[in-house]
Copies of this chain bind each other. A is one copy, B any other.
Amino acid sequence: MTYCLGLLTQSGLVFTSDSRTNAGVDSVATYAKLFDFSQEGDRVLVIMTSGNLSSSQSVMSLLKQDLEDAGAENLHNLPSMYAVARYLGSKNRTIAEWDRPSLESSNISFSSRMIVGGQIKGQAHELYLIYTEGNCIQATPETPFLQLGETKYGKPILDRAFRYESSLEDAARCALISMDATMRSNLGVGPPIEIVAYTADSLRISQRCRLGEQDEFLINTRRQWEQELQRLVALMPPVPWDGCGC
């Protein structure tokens, strides 16, 4: 399983991903799912992947292959974030054409979703989700976050506490709490956690953090959050029983 989350705020973007892959509980491994293709001063591009590991690794190989070919359309010369999202979708379609029939003949469904966010010089910062089928949707101020993989456990905190107007620091805190809730409830989602924050118009990623399982900050944050939630629950007004005797 996977959990990746992209947050769009008025002042920038936050990305977080776990690093666990598994094929059954007895086949667990660690792979990065967050990739930085930025070129400082010209563009920031962060891509997160989910789905079959072989599919997302194949997409990454194609992206790198195109980058080595100066004449090819690639991540460093595409003219807009929308063009980047469509380009990533076209890679999904290429891999699907190669692998889907064979996977499906073994009853394995082909799956490759991505989130891409960033900014190209002179344009707005944007965030997209690319579906397995190659089409894409964009985050907006009304719906300012996009998720991949195990999306449900980490959604309530975002619905409650994250807004397009949130500061980048608060967005990063929300991302961490959302990730931690997901790790707690699904063993298929696990550390190290990567978190990246991008300040709009800076055209470079200056804030990045990687938290391992035994990271003291992660352990303390988890403990503090849990204690504060317990305290909050106890402070809520009691349920107003009807006292109906039924």
Task: Give the B-binding residues of A (Cβ under 8 A).
Answer: 36, 152-157, 159-161, 169-170, 172-174, 176-177, 181, 184-185, 195, 197, 204-210, 217, 220-221, 224-226, 228-230, 232-246
Contacts and interface: CB of A to CB of B under 8 A. Distances in A.
A153 B159 CA distance: 11
Given A155-B153, A170-B234, A232-B228, A239 B209 contact: yes
27 contacts: A152-B153, A152-B185, A153-B156, A155-B185, A156-B156, A156-B157, A156-B181, A159-B181, A159-B185, A160-B181, A161-B226, A161-B230, A169-B239, A172-B239, A173-B234, A173-B238, A174-B233, A205-B246, A207-B243, A208-B244, A208-B246, A209-B239, A209-B240, A217-B240, A225-B236, A228-B235, A232-B232
Given A161-B233, A242-B209, A244-B208, A156 B185 contact: yes
B224 A236 contact: yes
B153 A195 contact: no
A165 to B, nearest CB: 11
Question: What copy number does this chain have within its complex?
Answer: 2
Given A169-B238, A173-B236, A209-B242, 4 more contacts: A156-B184, A160-B229, A172-B239, A210-B242
